[in-house]
Structure 1
Amino acid sequence: MIAHFLRLEWKQYFRAPYWQKSIGIKIFMGFFALYFIAMFLGMGFGLFPVLKKAYPDQDPFTIVNQALFYWISADLAVRFFLQKLPVMTVKPFLTLPVKRSKIVNFVLTKSIFSFFNFLPLFFAIPFSIVLIGKGYDPTQVWTWFGFIFLVTHVINMLNFFLENLMAKSELSILPIVGILGLLSGLNHYQVIPLSDLTASGITAILETPVYLLIVIGMLVVLYISNYRSLKNKLYVDSAVQVKIKEAKTSDLSWTRRFGDIAPFMQLDLRLIMRNKRTKSTLFILVIGLLYGLFFYPQPVYRDMEFFYSFIGIFSTGSFLINFGQFIPAWDSGYYKMLMSQNFEYKRYLESKFVLMSMSVVLLFVFGIPYVYFGWKILLVHFAAMIYNIGVNTHVIMYGGSFNRKKINLDQKAAFNYQGTGAVQWLIGIPLMVIPMGLFAALNYFINFEVAVTVLIALGLLGIVFHTKIMKTITKKYIKSKYKMIGAFDQDN
């Protein structure tokens, strides 16, 4: 039966209509995977001598064990946002004499072959070989390798459990991010030395390998929990049952002050709050606001003035970039109906512009505390705000006129390239690379003040000539309207 499932999965994969459409993305992801494999291999062979040179008085093996707390946290977070859980089309099997237990076991076993489970091995295997070559006890080294292998699969099953829990209870992803952030903060400020506790636990396992049974027990418990959860869902009634939810309305009366574009703003805000794919833009907005905290607390980045522009553009424009790059594909499901209405197209586009501009201003205001790291940082963020409003909003809206991919709003955004085309890959050049390169060049060859002034001046020019620019963009959308309608109808 397992072999039969595998054959069906193989046929489904290569016969799916998206296979030919997304082959370019698959090639890109292949190179992306090779890059990480090479990086992990390099770390596996080179980390020991690097740590020995940097910390001559400490044991590199102990340092790695202390860092495993951060690896476990990061691995869980990355899997949660990027790993696609294994699925299969089960509805046809529910009316056939196929045991539900076999279907569930196949789905769970399939998760073992995830790329995320293999990636740590490209570090653990060469690092274990280096440790043995340096004279460490082979029994302890291979016990450590077994621990890494088991913990990787524990994280995989834990991610599976959290995904099912969130799907069942409709919890937000923010509590999970908050918990991981809180634990990291407690460890960083030594309130609870979780790194030391992790290293002590690993040392105990190395000295008494029988403690690996505890990790194995965790893996078994999570597997059984996921097994029961999935098996309870595999019923014909649950597969065809229509879930009825009460529509929640929000008070959007404040949008009326924007005049005739208010109905379109309300439509966008409701779309963002009610769909899985668009809700991710709200999370990215939070990430953008806190993005500077990944860099500014470290003195090495505070000395890199040219890097301020990149952080400023992304921090104040995170919503602009993630929401704007899919205009008008967000409305692709009802775009034909929308275009049959009697309204001025410019109003439709102006509502997008106002929404993105508001997000840029709000992100800058909430990011004012970055002045703690230096007034230059706040000044660049202000310049980035003006540049985003005056230049990047127009750039991304013009790029949207080339969108021809329909978006399924019910799908998750993490690692989901449905609806992604060449436009989304190329738009990053004018959005990020050009302003960063311009700022860096002016800052290097002239001075910091001139670099900031030029960014502000370009943004102000875009604001001053906004009306004329929008007329050009509107004409491009109207010219492409019927091509978009046809593409959105065909791209299912």
Structure 2
Amino acid sequence: MSLWSLLRHRLHAFVRVPFVGRRGLSLILGGFLALYLGGGLVLLGVAFDDLVREAAPGADPLLVASRGLLPFVLAYAAVRVFVESGVGADLRPYLPLPVRRSGLVAVLAALSLFSLWNAVPLAFVATVCVEAALDGALGPALRFGLAGAGVLVAVTYATPMLRRGVSARPVLAAVGLFLLVASAGLEWVNVAGGVASLLDVSGWLFGGAVQGRVLPVSGAVLGLVGLAGGYARWLRQAMVVDRSQRRSASGGSSEWLSRLARRGPAWREAVLEVRLAWRNPQTRMSVFTAFLLPVMVTAFAFFPIELSDLRSMSGAQLFNAILFPGLFTTGAVAIFHGQNLFSYEGGSIEATVARPVSPCARVAGKLLFLEAGTLACFFIPFPFLLARQSPFLLVHTSFFLYNAGVLVPAIIAGATFNREALTIDERSFSQTNFSGGRIAITFPLFGVPLLFLFSFDRLLFQFGGFAGLGLLSLLAMPLWLRGLARLYEYNRHAMLRGFRASRS
């Protein structure tokens, strides 16, 4: 079988799916977004040399741009680790075909480069190169273009390996990020000095490559070749379907979870959800992303915020400093993991109904899991906010009550409208089940705190309004449980039909 035949089959596989319309719509929307962002970067590239000459007369625009390549690599790789999905393609169906593994690796490595994630930043690089070439610097412009393309290749190859590392060691990654945020807040490290040194290293490496110096060019080429070789080796290891080594399930944490599971059917469902989230790379990545936000909000404890600052905020400041960090910090587990609560169990058609558990106990277990995750997200920054007596503690507590009482039950209700099963494997870390019913239920609730924040001027009514609403909803949790059980009972067979259609 030739590689061209394999590529033709990949194209046919794109359209021969039950949800090809949804996939095409996502591709169209992504294309429009890429054109919008790419157009803005093209305009920035056209005016970049003029901006540099105004800010630093006599400076070379190509050298200035090259000093920012290394910080761009780190920031862009971090964004793609938590937003982009998987390795870009699932080649397991092609493994039995008469195609060499090296050919499959080459195809996957080449296909991963042709993505909108690379095309959008490349618009800025190409524009800067064209402007420099028109000004007579053809050689440096070509070298800068190669450096920019090499940076995008490096980010593309490093992103899935970083995702695998984070999903395999989420605790160590979370602890490392937490220590970094805490040390920056306590001024144990000089952040400004670190950024300056990073710019200097970028200027030496990529600026030297633009100037044509031998040592920086050799270092950049060797680094890119080594990263590409490591990515190819990583892909060959990821293609192994049957793994003989399995992680041991014994240990103190497993015994502790087993004791919790013996407390009743609802606790057993919650424990099963914990084990599903921890033992699979895809769900483990979603939980890590959820706990990443409370770690980042810990930095708010070290910001000089006063109550008068909260009163004076309006518009974009109110959204960026209050609504987004408040709503998405304690509600992160429910938002990132809860929306696919039932969709992960569609791997086998009978998985949703096979276990002899009542709908009430099943929904109670899901509710218990998300409430525990919400409480954990609340307690991560709580000691720091309390020790520093930060006014942001008011925001944090108010949104915790709202998320625990209103958002968590609503997300469980919306998850019962999912009709597509999601695959749990090591190659597809970020999937989202788009459901119109779920969006209709949950999306308006994101704006309820905003109504209170804009409708009142006093902090008591601004935060006490939706916090009291969440507290009343917590007190009415038995009613929520009965309603959610009936909704799940009503939708369970429709979910099974949707899971079966998505698997066919």
TM-score normalized with structure 2 length: 0.80
Indicate if the aligned counterparts of 2:410 and 2:442 stay in contact, CA closer than 8 A. no
The residue identity in structure 2 corresponding to 1:395 is A
Contact kept? 2:38, 2:120, Cα under 8 Å? yes
Task: String of CA shifts for 1:422-466, please: whole Å, max 9, x gaps.
Answer: 34555552342332x2133124xx322210110111112212222
2:415 alignment counterpart? 400
CA distance in 1, matches of 2:212, 2:44: 27
Partner-residue secondary structure (3-state), 2:341: coil
Query: Partner residue of 2:493?
Result: 482
Question: 1:442·1:448 contact (CA, 8 Å) conserved in 2?
Answer: no
**Cα deviation digits, residues 221-261 of structure 1 (max 9, x gap):** 33344445556787xxx556666554446121563696552
RMSD: 3.8
**What is the CA–CA distance in structure 1 between the aligned matches of 2:191 and 2:156, rounded to whole Å?**
25
Q: Matches of 2:428 and 2:78 in 1, distance apart?
A: 15
Per the TM alignment, residue 124 of structure 1 is displaced from its structure 2 partner at its CA by 1.2
Deviation, 1:487, is 2.3
- 1:367 aligned to which of 364, 381, 396: 381
1:3 aligns with 2:4: yes
Mapping of 1:6-405 within 5 angstroms? 6-47=7-48, 55=55, 59=59, 61=61, 64-81=65-82, 82=84, 84-87=86-89, 89=91, 96=98, 98-130=99-131, 137-159=137-159, 166=165, 171-172=168-169, 178=176, 188-190=191-193, 193-210=197-214, 211-227=216-232, 230=235, 245-248=247-250, 250=254, 251-253=256-258, 255=260, 259-292=264-297, 303=313, 304-306=317-319, 307-333=321-347, 336=350, 339=353, 341-368=355-382, 369-370=384-385, 375-405=390-420
Q: Distance in 2 between matches of 1:447 and 1:233?
A: 56
Change (3 A) 1:275 1:203: closer
CA shift for structure 1 position 485: 2.5
Question: Residues 128 and 76 of structure 1: is their aligned pair in 2 closer, same or farther, counting only changes over 3 Å?
Answer: same
Q: Secondary structure at the match of 1:409?
A: coil
1:86-114 CA-to-partner distances (Å, cap 9, x unmatched) read 54646656563x55444433333333323
Offset at 1:141? Answer: 3.6
Does structure 2 conserve the Cα–Cα contact (< 8 Å) formed by 1:264 and 1:351? yes
Aligned to 1:459: 470
The answer (yes or no) to whether the contact 1:387–1:460 under 8 Å persists in 2 is yes
Query: Cα distance 1:472–1:427, how it changes in 2: closer, same or farther (>3 A)?
Result: closer
| Distance in structure 1 (CA, Å) of the matches to 2:249 and 2:372 | 26
Compare 42-51 and 401-410 and name the one that shifted more: 42-51
**Could you tell me how far apart the structure 1 residues matched to 2:177 and 2:392 are?**
29
Alignment equivalent of 1:448, drawn from 451, 456, 459: 459
Letter aligned with residue 328 of structure 1: F
Cα distance in structure 1, aligned partners of 2:344 and 2:111: 32
**Residues 325 and 397, structure 1, Cα contact 8 Å, conserved in 2:** yes
Distance in 2 (CA, whole Å) between partners of 1:181 and 1:31 is 39
CA distance in 1, matches of 2:295, 2:237: 40
Judge conservation of contact 2:419–2:498 (CA < 8 Å) in 1. yes
Asked if the contact 2:405–2:473 (Cα under 8 Å) also holds between the matched residues in 1, the reply is yes
Q: 1:374 to 1:22 in 2, by over 3 A?
A: farther
Name the count of aligned residue pairs: 479
Q: Deviations over 1:192-230 (max 9, x none)?
A: 822222123333333334443432233333334444555
Q: Is the 8 A contact 1:390 1:460 kept in 2?
A: yes
For 1:326-384, what per-residue CA distance to the aligned partner results, in whole angstroms no more than 9, with x for missing partners? 23223334674553555432222122222222222222222122468874311011100
345 and 229 in structure 1: CA distance in 2 versus 1, 3 angstrom threshold:
closer
**Inter-partner Cα distance in structure 2 for 1:382 and 1:332:** 36
Task: Measure how far apart 1:142 and its partner are.
Answer: 3.5
Which deviates further from its counterpart, 212-221 or 274-283? 212-221
Q: Is the 8 A contact 1:404 1:487 kept in 2?
A: yes
Q: Which amino acid aligns with 1:22?
A: R
SS of aligned partner of 1:407: coil
Seen in structure 2, the aligned counterparts of structure 1 residues 12 and 362 have a Cα distance that, compared at 3 Å, is: closer
Shift of 1:391: 1.0
Match of 2:452 among 436, 439, 445: 439
Q: Is the 8 A contact 2:287 2:337 kept in 1?
A: no
Comparing 176-185 with 356-365, greater Cα deviation is found at 176-185
Query: Which runs of 5 or more residues in structure 1 are unaligned?
Result: none
% same residue: 20
What displacement does 1:59 show?
4.7
Q: Is the 8 A contact 1:161 1:225 kept in 2?
A: no
Q: Following the alignment from structure 1 to structure 2, what is the Cα–Cα distance between the partners of residues 94 and 257?
A: 44
Tell me, in whole angstroms, the C-alpha distance in 2 between the residues paired with 1:373 and 1:49: 45
- Aligned equivalents of 1:21, 1:466: Cα separation in 2: 36
Aligned to 1:429: 443
Query: Counterparts of 2:349 and 2:220 in 1: how far apart (Å)?
Result: 52
Q: Counterpart in 1 of 2:479?
A: 468
Distance of 2:179 and 2:124 partners within structure 1: 25
Deviation at 1:478, TM superposition (A): 1.5
